[in-house]
């Protein structure tokens, strides 16, 4: 499967997290990089967008050679790159797109130009099998505040009307003892509940979750079951987030893999 996203020099989020999450599910990950960031656990110091023609060339190089059924997108940064990605998905007839609408880093730094939001909504969202916004992203996409469970359901309906087959609203930014994610397919709501884990080391959680879902789709699962498997994976590794750096540390993507190896030895 292919991840199209930005590079995180701290390796906790972005394309680095995508590839780690895919590998941890047993899936071979390919990449097309949209941007290079000078980033650590505290902030995004600088962003350099790659030339759109280079993004275009990376996608062509991969899709002309490898059998790719699932694509996951993360940071796209600017409208022209978002437009190129949409065009390539149509050209290669990619039916399974997991769209992580990366807009703001955990540090608060903006990762999507305002001009690109329109392209995202008009060209990419209608192509998505699944879109995975967190609550702040959902508020931008649906145009109203999301505070209650009723707000979550309303936001899911509004975003679903833009064209994706499924909407997964991630509840990590909400309050409460449980973190509740809601999946909506246009008719039915699926709820994924898990105890909230007290830790600051969650850098790259959104990228990891979306990539793990995409990996399980590549393994043949349905969307509800892929979300369930990815949610369980995330819940197993979050307690072991790495306490490195001065801000939000990264996840330990291969924690469960090492545990399995120890159990078999």
- Which residue of the set 205, 228, 241, 249 is catalytic? 205
- Which residue of the set 37, 119, 132, 202 is catalytic? 202
Beta pairing, strands 130-131 & 96-99: parallel
- Which residue of the set 207, 208, 228, 241 is catalytic? 207
Asked about 264 being catalytic, the answer comes back as: no
Six-digit token pair at 194?
A: 């898990």
- Which residue of the set 206, 208, 228, 241 is catalytic? 206
Asked about 204 being catalytic, the answer comes back as: yes
Beta pairing, strands 178-184 & 189-195: antiparallel
Asked about 202 being catalytic, the answer comes back as: yes
Asked about 205 being catalytic, the answer comes back as: yes
Name the H helices within the chain. 14-24, 52-63, 79-91, 114-119, 135-142, 149-160, 205-218, 223-237, 255-264
Asked about 14 being catalytic, the answer comes back as: no
Q: Is 204 left (phi over 0), alpha (psi -120 to 50) or beta?
A: left
- Is the Cα torsion angle 119, 32, 136, 90 positive or negative in sign? positive
- Which residue of the set 170, 208, 228, 241 is catalytic? 170
- Which residue of the set 12, 14, 77, 204 is catalytic? 204
* 67 burial type by CB count under 10 A (0-12 exposed, 13-18 middle, 19+ buried): exposed
Asked about 245 being catalytic, the answer comes back as: no
Contacts of 44 (CB under 8 A, 6+ apart): 37, 38, 105, 107, 109, 111
* Enzyme catalytic residues: 170, 202, 204-207
């Amino acid at each position: 499967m292919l991840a199209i996203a930005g590079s995180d020099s701290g390796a906790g989020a972005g394309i680095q997290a995508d590839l780690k999450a895919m590998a941890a599910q047993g899936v071979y990950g390919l990449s097309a990089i949209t941007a290079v960031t000078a980033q650590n656990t505290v902030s995004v110091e600088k962003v350099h967008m790659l030339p759109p023609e280079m993004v275009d060339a990376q996608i062509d190089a991969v899709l002309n050679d490898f059998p790719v059924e699932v694509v996951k997108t993360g940071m796209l940064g600017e409208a022209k790159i978002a437009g190129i990605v949409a065009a390539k998905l149509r050209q290669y007839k990619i039916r399974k797109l997991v769209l992580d609408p990366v807009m703001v880093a955990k540090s608060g730094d903006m990762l999507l130009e305002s001009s690109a939001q329109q392209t995202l909504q008009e060209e990419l969202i209608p192509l998505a099998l699944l879109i995975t916004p967190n609550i702040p992203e959902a508020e931008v996409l649906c145009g109203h505040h999301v505070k209650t469970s009723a707000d979550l359901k309303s936001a899911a309906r509004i975003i679903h009307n833009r064209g994706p087959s499924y909407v997964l609203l991630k509840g990590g930014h909400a309050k409460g003892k449980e973190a509740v994610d809601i999946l909506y397919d246009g008719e039915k709501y699926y709820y994924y509940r898990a105890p909230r884990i007290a830790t600051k080391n969650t850098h790259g959680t959104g990228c990891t979750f979306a990539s793990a879902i995409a990996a399980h789709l590549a393994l043949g699962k349905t969307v509800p079951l892929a979300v369930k498997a990815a949610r369980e994976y995330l819940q197993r590794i979050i307690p072991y987030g790495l306490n490195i750096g001065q801000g939000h540390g990264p996840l330990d993507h291969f924690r469960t893999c090492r545990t399995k190896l120890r159990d078999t030895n």
